[in-house]
Structure 1
């Protein structure tokens, strides 16, 4: 049977249409669903990305905001103990800066990390009497895991490679950031309502949006590796030219772990072959922040770390704790007086309370006519806006603007400008540049003795003939000049010391009147600085108007000067007097002792001559009235007065001679040698070869011979004690014709110009006037008090003495009939004549100078006598270790029987050679605060105090042994001063500059130094930028850094002796030991504080910081560490690196503890920032985004 067709479907068109539609609809639904799913997924991805981005932005805000708060806290810390000066809005000046607050307070540091300054911790970042820091961290350490497991371990904190945290507990804590600011979380609490830390309600300002933690490092105490180091192929002489700046730093120390050659090859790829020129020309004028084309540099600390890890440029990671790539300093001084005179044992007079007066200009104890020159330099400011002109090293001008409240000292003064003041006018700069920078103009002298002769003239004086103070400069709207800065930097109480203080009239008053004027002394110091830095030996002469008179302040070159004038009277050997004669004719001479007291050989020596001007009176009670018709003196004695103007040139050899004090000899004269003839006119003198000395038949001495002096020796005349020394020679006998012996040089223009005077300076008021002494003379007479007969005798100049006379070469005594008993104490009955001192060349009266360079205390008279060596006294060696028997153990001089005239401030016993020390025999003079000995001195020590009552040590004052040659510039070359005759390579070389006190150069070595501020005011760098780089903070705790700066520094520029690495290491360790408890507030403290710390006792006591007594006690060598550090260091600017880790996030609704923070994003920054400690100004900053 067949199947039925109803068992299979049949075709139905309507039903097929409906099925297709259903399938289409279902497909569309699937597609739409897929699109919706994809959209939702995309939205979720975008939402996640947007949330992550927003959180990263929040983390950035937290980080940047945190940095701003940290910097603000550092600025606030500067006023924690004393509010700043706010007399100019927005321009604060902190006047309370001292060794206790010059650096940021250390908070949260540890012994293992010398560079670490602060971390965020539960302790306030600073604490003071006025305020304490508010950036206090929570109790949650960064090593504690957050709610979602995030934490910061020590390895991450060690990333800067500036030290390693010893453990997690030493790392920073978190500071919470809320909508309204920062908090430690201690008072916020948790909860879903109220002002809690985790309540996200829009009105809750306490809601936490992030947190941050930080560590602050002192990178100012590190070597800026973008500049430090030099090629090992650099010659020693080239190295010394750059040793005073950071590129001259030695990187050879193994502790630094640097391959110097590889470093220089990479960093100085284009400049290593001409490294000296690169440093002195390019770096010196570009503030060290510009990269020379073709060279390489490290752009950031991360760049430096990567190079060290990859061992590029000779670096290893071991070197990194000593290195930085960011160093800045405000190129302006910050000095202010650090002590009152009374603090160091000086006077308590208000005028010399230097520290107390630092903010005072012309109020009590000062006046408008007598202003305070020694101010806190950042505190002397312009009162209004001005446009200043600055000058580059080439003399070109550039202008910049200053506003009211800006400091008047905008830049340190570059010493390279000294080269502009040439011996024949402007040299390398325009007259306007020199006038602006020095106050000098080149023009005709107003001195009538120099008609038409051009000299340098100082033009910026007050109505009182004083140098203007900085506040007076500010009122004129200009920059201070060189001499105004000198005045600001040198304590006024050390200037203007007058050897005849208290005398108001008469000869002594006139002789020393110039000594009282600080302007004269400052101009002399400035001229001496110019002469140190120039290559020639033409002394710089600066003329200024002192109360209407043209006074000239002369510089100091390595040239001979007059150290004594010696009148000599005696009967010539060619016409000897015979026993019993009643008349005799004596020759009269003026001889001269010259000395170049310097250790160095002069360069480019000019022609020199000695010139004698003025009147000389010669008279005696036994003068023959039939020939000597004039009567002189108070007793109307027969005599004559000569009015001289005689000059004679020195030979070429003599210009470089006189390295020891020596009498002028015929061989020292230029041209035809003179003969010994007497001038026919009483009013004249003639240069001659003098008659022989003592028992010798030849002298070769060149002297100025006056008219012969005839004696009339009466047989019955009575000789009393006052008559046996009655022959008198008076210099400047005629008051209208004062006397002086002058050294002159021939200028490049051909004019003869004075540079040194036997006494005083060019103004004739300061010359010898009625200044004389007595000589021995004996004649036939009957001494009534002793009933003894005396033979006729006038002292001989040479040849054989008359019969019956003998000469004792040891004592210098002359006696008759071989009896050497002194008749004045025990006269014999046989009629013996005895002269304790005879009037020969070797035993005569001298008009002496203590130091031929000085115009101070240099008018005194001394009779050469006793057991002193004839040669030593003839040559004017005031102090000798081989001729030091009593009473000469401290040099020539003594009481009134030896010294006829002297400066009034000294006591009864005057031993002027001791002024080379001025230490009153103390071996702690460098550091002692004792000034109990009065200025007039006592006993056998000669010493003086300055006007502020401080006894300041002279250059040889660290020696105390009077029997040795050491510490005696009259005898030992090492103790003599130095003239560089080249540009300064370090500001510390200003320590070679003579300051016009006998045997005192600028003091950079003692606690009482009045000159140490010079170290901060001047610079050897030519950059005129406001901010410079490449200087290390002196308060560094890295001894290796100081060792690098000190190694190979020259300790003696004459012998070119340098500081060894081991010696540098010792000094560096001691200095860091000092700064660990006594911070250095200003670079001047290297002199006032650090140097005395290196060896508080000197003399025979050798400190372990020095390898020899000479290295310790010689001023020139002791100051070597100052010269090495002063231009490579600073104290004013905080150079810090802030390492901050910032996290955005929140506390969840259920959070109940500070460690339950949910981290959502993180940023890390390293901010390099330089902050001026005296103003709080951020000088520069550089931000690194850290990639980990």
Structure 2
């Protein structure tokens, strides 16, 4: 029994030893693995730590650079707080843009560099705090430097080698690359010798992308008509094939680069064929006019200022559903160029982030010699010509586009779309007009020619014309058309909230108090210097060698006339727009101007009446002229119609007209038809040749009609 026990004990001890050795091996392996991992993680952690330090330095550098730009704005402006919002108004025109420093010749986009002995002194722009150590030519102790080619990897600087795709900049920039700004425990500091207090360094160049073409918007495809692209109301109609010395081609030979751009960018809207970036991508632009039409429609109906991508989707296949696309940053634009291979030299003109809200920031300046200090008055609360940024929303309301006007934001948040001018026609709101089909082509004498031309010559969509309702026109223009009005009936200016003819046009501060957006005429009044409006002829209300100019002295009449002329220049019709208002109890009418002859002179001729030798007769001779440069060779279907009254003195010289006296001659829409063979492109009188329906001489004894002038009585 003892022998068996001893044998078992030895075996147990041997097993225990093996187990212990196994644990030792396992622990050793774990220790080795731990120390091995720790050894490998140490450089990673060290690199991460250094990267964090570098990121902090970069963030601090950006804060310094942006802070300097903000300080420049503050130093060069006068701060005004309105409704809790601070507006900075430049003290001079020079302070409206950043000051330049260290600029290389031939680099127009460059604003400033970090440069030694900076000329900027803080009035208003602070200097860059750079030391006399260049980032390119002064190599660091570890052999590092930044080449001029690397400085131009964004291609914003013109290239030296225009025949290659490298980013080597022109020599002027290579010889003036940025200097280093050293950061110590005291911040960015100019140093003159090596210092242990330096924690890092940075160098920078600031470029202006605001003057570049935004490639998220610019460029239109094949199939866009000259009428559509000629509008130039949007950067979308910028002609990329005329881009300086390095145009982006869009022609034969497979080089339809602009079509590829539009096809990629406006993918769901235009539905391009084939696959990007193949040479035949978006080839359907060259054969299917509906693709360009879809692009045009999307542009004129864009209401977001291109600040977001159109969310329209298109199923290119059963497994793919895509929207329009955009370049999120410049790197994506560079990658796109690499795929399509248009000239890299064009990149100096192209950007991706120059879009804005189009919020007007107009503030008048004082013209030389003016007795009115518009610049100072612009900051007052009741200025007719205010600083637009100081006119803010004081009471929330719903804007025309459906968004909510937030208290404190600019009252005029976007530009007024001039495409809305198409809503106003000679027969009332466009929404109530007949919209003719494209075929047949209507003659200019057709009563609906203007609506046909707006659609099929000028590219205004039917849906947009149908949006020209009476309510929308009143909201945007403050105009109403008489119920049941006929061709040529006058519009009435009431303002958007009025119910009858207005006596004046509101200022923007009054509009803000009314909690609404300004209408077309209110914007005109705010932008046109008040001293240039309502001017009489220099001789007083009735003075000088002219007819009485009571109407000419009224600023509201002048603004409405300017607005009517703008409406008429946008309309393809031939009947001038009339706009009525009520300045002081009597309705006045402002008239637009069409490409037609107008009365330039009026001659009175008097003598013995050919009807009765015992009486005196007076004739008024009219002289006409079409002042337009593109006056037609003939005048078609034009009728000269007169309205008003003339008082004729019955006594000798020195007689004055008694206000309120009954005039001797009153015209009530008497008319004469002009001969269509006459254009009146030069000044010419009305006579039996230039008119067709004047009555025979001597005319009725009561007068009041257009007749042939009787031969003088001997």
TM-score if structure 2 supplies the norm length?
Answer: 0.72
Q: Is the 8 A contact 1:265 1:313 kept in 2?
A: no
The count of aligned residue pairs is 608
Q: Is the 8 A contact 2:493 2:579 kept in 1?
A: yes
Gaps of 5+ in 1: 1-11, 198-207, 363-371, 392-397, 576-582, 622-632, 635-640, 693-794, 798-1188
Distance in structure 2 (CA, Å) of the matches to 1:515 and 1:606: 30
Cα shift readout 1:455-499 (whole Å, capped 9, x = no counterpart): 322224999943222222222222221111111111122122212
Establish whether residue 610 from structure 1 lines up as the match of residue 628 from structure 2: no
Cα shift readout 1:540-598 (whole Å, capped 9, x = no counterpart): 111111122111111112233333444445689999xxxxxxx9999864443333333
More helix per residue: 1 or 2? 2
Relative to structure 1, is the Cα distance of residues 657 and 153 closer, same or farther in structure 2, using a 3 angstrom cutoff? closer
Q: Residue 111 of structure 1 is aligned with which of 105, 120, 126?
A: 105
The equivalent residue for 2:356 is 329
The equivalent residue for 1:358 is 378
Q: What secondary structure does 1:101 align onto?
A: helix
1:254-293 map, 5 Å:
255-256=245-246, 258-260=248-250, 261-269=255-263, 271=270, 272=285, 273-274=289-290, 277-278=293-294, 280-284=296-300, 285=302, 286-288=304-306, 289-290=308-309
Relative to structure 1, is the Cα distance of residues 211 and 222 closer, same or farther in structure 2, using a 3 angstrom cutoff? same
1:1027-1046 map, 5 Å:
none
Q: Is the 8 A contact 1:440 1:459 kept in 2?
A: yes
Establish whether residue 183 from structure 1 lines up as the match of residue 173 from structure 2: no
Establish whether residue 420 from structure 1 lines up as the match of residue 423 from structure 2: yes
Distance in structure 2 (CA, Å) of the matches to 1:617 and 1:317: 76
The equivalent residue for 2:627 is 597
Establish whether residue 458 from structure 1 lines up as the match of residue 493 from structure 2: yes
1:227-306 map, 5 Å:
227-231=217-221, 236-242=226-232, 245-252=235-242, 255-256=245-246, 258-260=248-250, 261-269=255-263, 271=270, 272=285, 273-274=289-290, 277-278=293-294, 280-284=296-300, 285=302, 286-288=304-306, 289-290=308-309, 298-306=327-335
Distance in structure 1 (CA, Å) of the matches to 2:11 and 2:583: 129
Q: Alpha-carbon deviation of 1:287?
A: 2.6
Q: Is the 8 A contact 1:153 1:168 kept in 2?
A: no
Cα shift readout 1:688-733 (whole Å, capped 9, x = no counterpart): 44445xxxxxxxxxxxxxxxxxxxxxxxxxxxxxxxxxxxxxxxxx
Q: Residue 379 of structure 1 is aligned with which of 390, 398, 409?
A: 390
Q: Alpha-carbon deviation of 1:536?
A: 0.9
Distance in structure 1 (CA, Å) of the matches to 2:115 and 2:544: 74
Q: Residue 430 of structure 1 is aligned with which of 456, 460, 469?
A: 469
Relative to structure 1, is the Cα distance of residues 175 and 471 closer, same or farther in structure 2, using a 3 angstrom cutoff? farther
Q: Alpha-carbon deviation of 1:84?
A: 1.9
The equivalent residue for 2:685 is 663
Establish whether residue 74 from structure 1 lines up as the match of residue 69 from structure 2: yes
Distance in structure 1 (CA, Å) of the matches to 2:669 and 2:83: 61
Q: What secondary structure does 1:473 align onto?
A: helix
Q: What secondary structure does 2:596 align onto?
A: coil
Relative to structure 1, is the Cα distance of residues 676 and 71 closer, same or farther in structure 2, using a 3 angstrom cutoff? same
Q: What secondary structure does 1:220 align onto?
A: coil
Establish whether residue 120 from structure 1 lines up as the match of residue 125 from structure 2: no
Establish whether residue 488 from structure 1 lines up as the match of residue 478 from structure 2: no
Q: Alpha-carbon deviation of 1:82?
A: 3.5
The equivalent residue for 2:535 is 497
Q: What secondary structure does 1:118 align onto?
A: strand
Relative to structure 1, is the Cα distance of residues 172 and 570 closer, same or farther in structure 2, using a 3 angstrom cutoff? same
Gaps of 5+ in 2: 1-6, 158-168, 271-284, 315-323, 432-467, 657-662
Q: Residue 586 of structure 2 is aligned with which of 546, 549, 553?
A: 549
Cα shift readout 1:16-65 (whole Å, capped 9, x = no counterpart): 99888777756654443233112211223234333433443443343344
Relative to structure 1, is the Cα distance of residues 97 and 479 closer, same or farther in structure 2, using a 3 angstrom cutoff? farther
Distance in structure 2 (CA, Å) of the matches to 1:13 and 1:565: 143
Higher relative contact order (CA 8 A, sep 6+): 1
The equivalent residue for 1:173 is 180
Cα shift readout 1:1055-1092 (whole Å, capped 9, x = no counterpart): xxxxxxxxxxxxxxxxxxxxxxxxxxxxxxxxxxxxxx
1:1-150 map, 5 Å:
29-89=24-84, 91-96=85-90, 98-111=92-105, 113-122=107-116, 126-129=120-123, 132=126, 136-138=129-131, 140-143=133-136, 150=144
Q: Alpha-carbon deviation of 1:523?
A: 0.9
Relative to structure 1, is the Cα distance of residues 437 and 670 closer, same or farther in structure 2, using a 3 angstrom cutoff? same
Relative to structure 1, is the Cα distance of residues 78 and 40 closer, same or farther in structure 2, using a 3 angstrom cutoff? same
Distance in structure 1 (CA, Å) of the matches to 2:577 and 2:635: 14
Establish whether residue 152 from structure 1 lines up as the match of residue 146 from structure 2: yes
More strand per residue: 1 or 2? 1
Q: Alpha-carbon deviation of 1:302?
A: 1.8
Distance in structure 2 (CA, Å) of the matches to 1:109 and 1:508: 58
Relative to structure 1, is the Cα distance of residues 130 and 71 closer, same or farther in structure 2, using a 3 angstrom cutoff? closer
TM-score if structure 1 supplies the norm length?
Answer: 0.45
Q: Is the 8 A contact 1:543 1:553 kept in 2?
A: yes
Establish whether residue 442 from structure 1 lines up as the match of residue 486 from structure 2: no
Distance in structure 2 (CA, Å) of the matches to 1:617 and 1:121: 79
Relative to structure 1, is the Cα distance of residues 156 and 424 closer, same or farther in structure 2, using a 3 angstrom cutoff? same
The equivalent residue for 1:162 is 156
Q: Is the 8 A contact 2:675 2:691 kept in 1?
A: no
Cα shift readout 1:812-836 (whole Å, capped 9, x = no counterpart): xxxxxxxxxxxxxxxxxxxxxxxxx
Q: What secondary structure does 2:100 align onto?
A: coil
Distance in structure 2 (CA, Å) of the matches to 1:476 and 1:122: 55
The equivalent residue for 1:476 is 514
Distance in structure 2 (CA, Å) of the matches to 1:153 and 1:15: 77
Q: Is the 8 A contact 2:671 2:706 kept in 1?
A: no
Relative to structure 1, is the Cα distance of residues 388 and 587 closer, same or farther in structure 2, using a 3 angstrom cutoff? closer
Distance in structure 2 (CA, Å) of the matches to 1:20 and 1:453: 116
Rg larger in structure: 1
Cα shift readout 1:491-546 (whole Å, capped 9, x = no counterpart): 1221222125446x899999222221111111111111111111211211111111
Relative to structure 1, is the Cα distance of residues 322 and 565 closer, same or farther in structure 2, using a 3 angstrom cutoff? closer
The equivalent residue for 2:574 is 537
Q: What secondary structure does 1:93 align onto?
A: strand
Establish whether residue 319 from structure 1 lines up as the match of residue 326 from structure 2: no
Relative to structure 1, is the Cα distance of residues 605 and 279 closer, same or farther in structure 2, using a 3 angstrom cutoff? farther
Q: Alpha-carbon deviation of 1:389?
A: 1.5
Relative to structure 1, is the Cα distance of residues 275 and 361 closer, same or farther in structure 2, using a 3 angstrom cutoff? farther
Q: What secondary structure does 1:498 align onto?
A: coil
Distance in structure 1 (CA, Å) of the matches to 2:418 and 2:647: 45
Q: Is the 8 A contact 1:613 1:646 kept in 2?
A: yes
Q: What secondary structure does 1:94 align onto?
A: strand
Distance in structure 1 (CA, Å) of the matches to 2:299 and 2:48: 44
1:758-777 map, 5 Å:
none
Distance in structure 1 (CA, Å) of the matches to 2:421 and 2:246: 37
Distance in structure 1 (CA, Å) of the matches to 2:649 and 2:380: 55
Relative to structure 1, is the Cα distance of residues 489 and 220 closer, same or farther in structure 2, using a 3 angstrom cutoff? same
Calculate the aligned-residue CA RMSD, in Å.
Answer: 4.6
Distance in structure 2 (CA, Å) of the matches to 1:667 and 1:648: 19
